[in-house]
Amino acid sequence: MQQHERANFGSKLGAILAAAGSAVGLGNIWRFPFEAGNHGGAAFILIYLGCVFIFGLPIMIAEFVIGRRSKASTGKAYSVLAPGTSWKWVGYFGVLTGFLILGYYSVVAGWTLEYVFQAAIGGFSGKTPGDFVGMFNDFSKDPLRPLLWLFIFIALTHFVIVKGVKSGIEKSAKIMMPLLFVLIVLLAVCSVMLPGAWKGIEFLLKPDFSKVTSHVFLGAMGQAFFSLSLGMGCLSTYASYFSKDIRLGHTAMSVGLIDTCVSVLAGLVIFPAAFSVGIQPDAGPSLIFITLPNVFQQAFGDIPFLSYICAVAFYVLLALAALTSTISLHEVATAFLHEKFRFSRGKAARLISCSCLLIGIVASLSLGDWSEYRIASLTIFDALDFLTAKIMLPLGGMLAAIFVGWFLKRKIVRDEVTNNGLIKAPYYSAFMFILKYVAPIGISFIFINELGWLG
């Protein structure tokens, strides 16, 4: 164990914001609103909250226990806590998952920079809805431009990572997270004040239980995993930098709350504005990169300055959210190389940045020139998303739950959640019951369902 010279987050708030920075990302602003809107609005939100409480928070605490106790990144934590066993493969599996996610996630993160740029130079003004479709298609299929932004985004992530834990990750989270929160609240206020906005609020918040099927339950659970950054040891790596006095249960609650608030606020930015200008919200990339520029253009058309500011603010917000998440993904692999092979942080970070750039290039080109290369009929980009988010994350989360629920000594778990008996953890019995039974069985269901989709 490399107990000495190990970095720590400097404060409890810094630790919470860094973990929340990992959780809040493209998953909240891009994926959640659409899932909620199309799967029964408030009904989906209620089920999602259930998933966050029942599966998400206990698994997050389990990952915190693994990280803080081992004082090692996820790639090494299992070897420290269960030496000489095959559990170490769970750690390596987490590193691989994070590395693959970082590759394709950075592609979309790079797109956010193109849109910050376009918004800033006034590139949206005077465009018709058709122009926005053309603009996005031309850009995402262009062989070079997305690669340039991918490179810039990975370079930004790299820069924060080499600065280290306290002055890189923690400091950036302390600046970016409050800024992100202020921006999203302001945008939500602007959006809900637009004429006819209530239709969008209704679309998002009116419970419609007729749309709830078993698929909705499973979708909500998958969304909870991706959004809370669970299942690949990302938060367990951050927890290895937690000091002894951090309350694991309290930190998990705070991260879960911040993440969920941002998701709901993102819905309140997107849907009221879209309905107000009579645009039917669409899925995935087109919602964020085609519908929204159009919405900003039309909704505040009478006040061009407001439309300009809202567009710039929104894409800056998206880029910041993506950056705090790519930092956390990068850290998992960097810390692993640093600890396992004793590379300096700089060298480890360079290796990860370069290889992730290669994956990103392949993923990006697979949406354009290389779209004919397919894996089980999916482009390489979609295949990476499917494999990591739908299979590897639930599997990693289930294994972490089984590890803490069944294998780790009871005393270790209790000591961690109670800070060696200094604080109370009234949730302990329920937490253990979930880790032992509820999570493994529940996650097996998502898993079987997703594999069913493959066939």
Nearer to ligand PFF, 98 or 146 (CB): 98
Encoded one letter per residue, x for contact with ligand PFF by CB under 6 A and - for no contact, window 222-261 reads ----xx-x--x-x---------------------------
Helices (H), 9-87: 12-23, 26, 32-38, 42-51, 57-70, 74-81
Tell which residue, 352, 351, 373, has the closest CA to residue 364. 373
Nearer to ligand PFF, 24 or 404 (CB): 24
Let me know: does 107 contact 365? Beta carbons within 8 Å.
no
| Biggest alpha carbon–alpha carbon distance for the chain | 67
Minimum distance, C-beta of residue 298 to ligand PFF, in the bound complex (Å): 28
Among positions 14, 27, 56, 219, the unique one binding ligand PFF when judged by CB under 6 A: 27
Minimum distance, C-beta of residue 5 to ligand PFF, in the bound complex (Å): 25
Amino acid at 316: V
Tell whether residue 337 is a contact of ligand PFF (CB under 6 A): no
Span interacting with ligand PFF, options 18-26, 206-214, 396-404, 444-452, rule CB under 6 A = 18-26
Cβ neighbors of 270 (< 8 A, separation 6 or more) are: 33, 191, 200, 281, 287, 291, 292, 295
Nearer to ligand PFF, 26 or 317 (CB): 26
Between CA 437 and CA 145 the distance in angstroms is 48
Span interacting with ligand PFF, options 22-30, 130-138, 305-313, 377-385, rule CB under 6 A = 22-30
Nearer to ligand PFF, 60 or 268 (CB): 60
Among positions 17, 119, 274, 329, the unique one binding ligand PFF when judged by CB under 6 A: 329
Chain residues 100-119 in contact with ligand PFF, contact rule CB under 6 A = 101
Q: How many chain residues bind ligand PFF (CB under 6 A)? A: 16
| CA dihedral (138, 142, 147, 152) positive or negative | negative
Nearer to ligand PFF, 27 or 219 (CB): 27
Minimum distance, C-beta of residue 330 to ligand PFF, in the bound complex (Å): 10
Span interacting with ligand PFF, options 19-27, 137-145, 197-205, 431-439, rule CB under 6 A = 19-27
Among positions 16, 17, 20, 23, the unique one binding ligand PFF when judged by CB under 6 A: 23
Tell whether residue 28 is a contact of ligand PFF (CB under 6 A): yes
Nearer to ligand PFF, 64 or 275 (CB): 64
Among positions 26, 77, 176, 361, the unique one binding ligand PFF when judged by CB under 6 A: 26
Q: Estimate to the nearest angstrom the gap between the alpha carbon of 138 and the chain centroid.
A: 27
Q: What is the DSSP letter of 272?
A: H
Minimum distance, C-beta of residue 391 to ligand PFF, in the bound complex (Å): 13
Place of tokens 């990860």: 352
Size of the chain in residues:
455
Span interacting with ligand PFF, options 112-120, 240-248, 270-278, 322-330, rule CB under 6 A = 322-330
Tell whether residue 98 is a contact of ligand PFF (CB under 6 A): yes
Minimum distance, C-beta of residue 421 to ligand PFF, in the bound complex (Å): 31
Minimum distance, C-beta of residue 131 to ligand PFF, in the bound complex (Å): 28
Nearer to ligand PFF, 157 or 227 (CB): 227
Nearer to ligand PFF, 94 or 442 (CB): 94
| Residue 73 phi, psi (nearest 5) | -65, 165
Cβ neighbors of 138 (< 8 A, separation 6 or more) are: none
Among positions 260, 325, 364, 449, the unique one binding ligand PFF when judged by CB under 6 A: 325
Collapsing DSSP to helix, strand or coil, 388 comes out as helix
Nearer to ligand PFF, 80 or 109 (CB): 109
In order of 162, 213, 365, 406, the CA distances from 418 in angstroms are 33, 39, 49, 19
Geometric angle at alpha carbon 364, from 363 and 370, rounded to 5°: 80
Tell whether residue 333 is a contact of ligand PFF (CB under 6 A): no
Pair type for strands 374-375 and 378-379? antiparallel
Tell which residue, 207, 144, 160, 145, has the closest CA to residue 349. 160
Nearer to ligand PFF, 194 or 400 (CB): 400
Burial class, 164, CB count within 10 angstroms (exposed 0-12 / middle 13-18 / buried 19+):
middle
| CA dihedral (35, 362, 18, 288) positive or negative | negative
Q: Estimate to the nearest angstrom the gap between the alpha carbon of 278 and the chain centroid.
A: 30
Tell whether residue 263 is a contact of ligand PFF (CB under 6 A): no
Question: What is the contact surface with ligand PFF in residues (CB under 6 A)?
Answer: 22-23, 25-28, 98, 101, 226-227, 229, 232, 234, 325, 328-329
